[in-house]
Amino acid sequence: MDQISFAEAEYQNKKRKTRREKFLDRIERLIPWERLVKKLKRHYPKGGTGRPPYPLETMLRIHCMQLFYNLSDPGMEDALYEIESMRRFAGLRLSDPLPDETTILNFRRFLERHKLGEKLFAEINKHLDEHGLMMREGSIVDASIIAAPSSTKNKEKKRDPEMHQTRKGNQWHFGMKLHIGVDDMTGLVHSLDTTPANTHDLDAADRLLHGEEQRVFGDAGYRGIEKRDSHRDRDVTWYIAERPGKRKEMDPESDEAKVEKIKSQIRAKVEHPFRYMKRMFGYDKVRYRGQAKNRNRFHVLAGFTNLLLVDKFLPT
């Protein structure tokens, strides 16, 4: 048996758990690791004549921590050397050869190359569906702007061509839009897409509905959705919010105003996934150029978000 290091001995004898340790313990319990590893296994390199690859689950756990804390590749390498709780979560010891930033980068590119973020998201949702947590009767659709660097002080001397600027209220934003469809009962994300920020919310709406809905909720940006060719044949009831100007003119005690309030209360569920992805996981600004890499990351974050949203309903 290997002798433990001084750092490991001190860690075992400390008197309280940090917030990071509590979160990692929680997410360790929630993520169906075996299922996700199986989903990735057929794509993962088997090794050849050179140095054997790190175990798939180890690299997946490192990638997950990188997303939890929105770390760069060098930042993730440093964290593995500095933070004992993160090494333990990855199943590593300080005496082990730890993955360097290039290995961490290559694993991320491996996920992006095979579009595995979307597959991990689908597998997590399948896991939740088997526990009776993914409903199908109603959906809420919404979009949120994710900022991107607007500076041209880079190698190409220009902005990211896959991002765009848009006006919201009296303020201009440059970046992309994250579009999500969530269940109107549980608030779980069932579909996701990204577009340049100037894309109208209606243009992505058909990609957010799974086709089994009986009702759909959306804010005023989705008014007229039922007239679109892609939605005319849908047998659903549309609950789209009135425009703010018209709502101000309503008598607060009228039935019409009360209906709008109920719509708003139901639509509020869609804000929770945005809060997790943009605030808790810190991804309110893009880390990569282009849509594909960021979309791959958002799929994985949406999977984590769903697990955290239904934590109390999953078996321990």
25-84: pLDDT as tens digits: 999 999 999 999 999 999 898 765 567 789 999 999 999 999 999 999 999 999 999 999
User: 78-81 long-range contacts, Cβ below 8 Å, gap at least 24?
Assistant: none
111-127: pLDDT as tens digits: 999 999 999 999 999 99
189-233: pLDDT as tens digits: 999 999 999 999 999 999 999 999 999 999 999 999 999 999 988
The pLDDT score that the predictor gives to residue 131 is 92
The pLDDT score that the predictor gives to residue 127 is 96
Name the residue type at position 245: G
**206 lies in some domain:** yes
Q: Is 285 helix (H, G, I), strand (E, B) or coil?
A: strand
The pLDDT score that the predictor gives to residue 49 is 57
What span, in angstroms and rounded, lies between the C-alpha atoms of 313 and 316? 9
Closest to 119 measured CA to CA, from 194, 205, 38, 58: 38
Residue 2 pLDDT > 70, yes or no? no
Is there a single domain that holds both residue 96 and residue 203? no
Is there a single domain that holds both residue 89 and residue 202? no
**124 lies in some domain:** no
Tokens 């992006």 identify what position?
112
Tell me which residue range forms the domain holding 220.
Answer: 136-288
220-272: pLDDT as tens digits: 999 999 999 999 889 999 999 999 899 999 999 999 999 999 999 999 999 99
- Strands (E) across the chain are located at 138-147, 164-168, 171-183, 189-196, 215-218, 237-240
Closest to 194 measured CA to CA, from 146, 136, 149, 151: 146
What span, in angstroms and rounded, lies between the C-alpha atoms of 11 and 17? 10
Tokens 């105003």 identify what position?
257
Average pLDDT over residues 136-146: 96
Name the residue type at position 99: P
The pLDDT score that the predictor gives to residue 3 is 62
CATH assignment at residue 248: 3.30.420
Q: In the structure, what pLDDT confidence band is assigned to residue 1 with cuts at 50, 70 and 90?
A: very low
The pLDDT score that the predictor gives to residue 52 is 75
Average pLDDT over residues 292-307: 97
Closest to 124 measured CA to CA, from 195, 39, 16, 238: 39
**158 lies in some domain:** yes
How many structural domains does the chain have? 2
**143 lies in some domain:** yes
Q: In the structure, what pLDDT confidence band is assigned to residue 302 with cuts at 50, 70 and 90?
A: very high
Q: In the structure, what pLDDT confidence band is assigned to residue 10 with cuts at 50, 70 and 90?
A: low
What span, in angstroms and rounded, lies between the C-alpha atoms of 56 and 64? 12
Kindly report the pTM of this predicted structure.
Answer: 0.92
Residue 316 pLDDT > 90, yes or no? no
78-112: pLDDT as tens digits: 999 999 999 999 999 988 899 999 999 999 999 99
Is there a single domain that holds both residue 84 and residue 35? yes
What span, in angstroms and rounded, lies between the C-alpha atoms of 203 and 225? 9
Is there a single domain that holds both residue 140 and residue 73? no
Contacts of 30 (CB under 8 A, 6+ apart): 307, 308, 311, 314
Contact 257, 251 (CB under 8 A): yes
